[in-house]
Amino acid sequence: MFSDPDVIKSSRNFVCIRIESYESKENQDIVRSYLGGRFENTAFCILSPDGKERLTRAGRGPNHVSRDFDDIAKISDNFKAKGNLADSRVPDFNSFDLALNVSSADQKMLLFVAVGKEKYKKIEASLRPLAWDQNFIGKFNYDFESSENNWSEKLSLRRAREGYYLIEPDEYGLSGKVVKALPIDTKIKVLMDTMISANQDYADTTDKKVYSSHVSKGKRLGKTIKMAMPFGEDRDGDGAIDHRAGSRRR
C-alpha cells in the first residue's frame, strides 16, 4: 500500500510494503526492479530502514528468499527503532475500488474515511494511534477519499457525507455494506470500540474463502475489476504480458 520508503523509518521490526502492482506502470517497474526485469504478481525482499539497501536477495515470495523464516526474522535484530511506530502514516489505497477489492480478498473490514483535503492531515494523524495499536494491526484496511468519485454509489448511499464508514466488502469486493457510519468529529475511543465490536461480528459470521473455488466461481459469474494496467504476468521479462500457454501472438 506504500511505495514510499520513508514510511518504514519508524519500524520496530518489519513493515510490509505492498505495492499496488496493477495501479500504474511506475509500480510495476518497482516490481520488475526486484525480479531482474520480470513482472509477476508479487515480489519479496527485505530492505534496510532507509529503503535503499537490499538485505536479502529478491524473489517472488519469502520461500524464494529463504526456507528458514527464523533467519529472516533475525535480520531485524540488527536494527534498532529510531522513532515511534504510532507516528507512522496510516495505510491508504490509490482508489476506493481497490480498497474494496483488496479488503474482500483479505477478508478484512474497511475503515473508509471521507474527508476534505483541508482536514485530511489532521484526521490522518489522529488515526495513527488507532491503526498501529496492537489490537488493530493487521485486522483492518484503511482508505481516505477527499472527493466523492463513485464511492457513495458502490455503498448504495443516496448522499455522500463526510465521516467514517465501517464497511463490510461483498464477496468479490465490487461493492460494500456500511455497517456503521460516524461523523468525522467522533472521538477515537468511540471509533475504536465501534470497530472492535463490528469486527467481532464480521469474524463470527464470515466463512473463510477457499481460493480455488472462490476464483472459479468468480470466473463463472464474470466478476472482474478494471485496473489501470492489464492483468497478467511477464515472466520472460520481454516487457509484454505473457499469453496463455499454447496461444500465439497476433
Are 100 and 110 in contact by the 8 Å Cβ rule? The answer is: yes
CA dihedral over 238, 241, 244, 250, signed as positive or negative: negative
**Would you state the pLDDT for residue 81?**
74
Q: Across the strands, what pairs with 177?
A: 168
CA dihedral over 229, 232, 237, 239, signed as positive or negative: negative
Cell of 117: 483535503
Cα separation of 37 and 29, whole Å? Answer: 8
Each domain of the chain, given as residue ranges in start order, spans 5-85, 89-205
Please tell me whether the overall predicted TM-score, pTM, comes out greater than 0.85 for this model.
no
Q: Is 141 exposed, middle or buried (0-12, 13-18, 19+ CB in 10 A)?
A: buried
For residue 228, how many C-alpha atoms fall within 13 Å in the half-sphere facing its CB? 13
The domain defined by 89-205 carries CATH number 3.40.30.10: yes
Cα separation of 105 and 70, whole Å? Answer: 27
| pLDDT in 10s for each residue of the chain, 250 residues | 333 444 333 334 566 777 788 888 999 999 999 999 999 988 899 998 888 899 999 998 888 888 887 887 788 888 877 778 888 899 999 889 889 999 999 999 999 999 988 999 999 999 999 999 988 998 999 999 866 667 888 888 888 889 999 999 999 999 899 999 999 999 999 999 999 999 999 999 999 999 899 989 999 999 988 888 888 999 999 988 897 554 444 3
For residue 91, how many C-alpha atoms fall within 13 Å in the half-sphere facing its CB? 25
Q: Of the candidates 133, 121, 134, 52, which has an alpha carbon nearest to the alpha carbon of residue 92? A: 121
Q: Residue count of the chain, please give it.
A: 250
Cell of 70: 527464523
Cα separation of 165 and 161, whole Å? Answer: 10
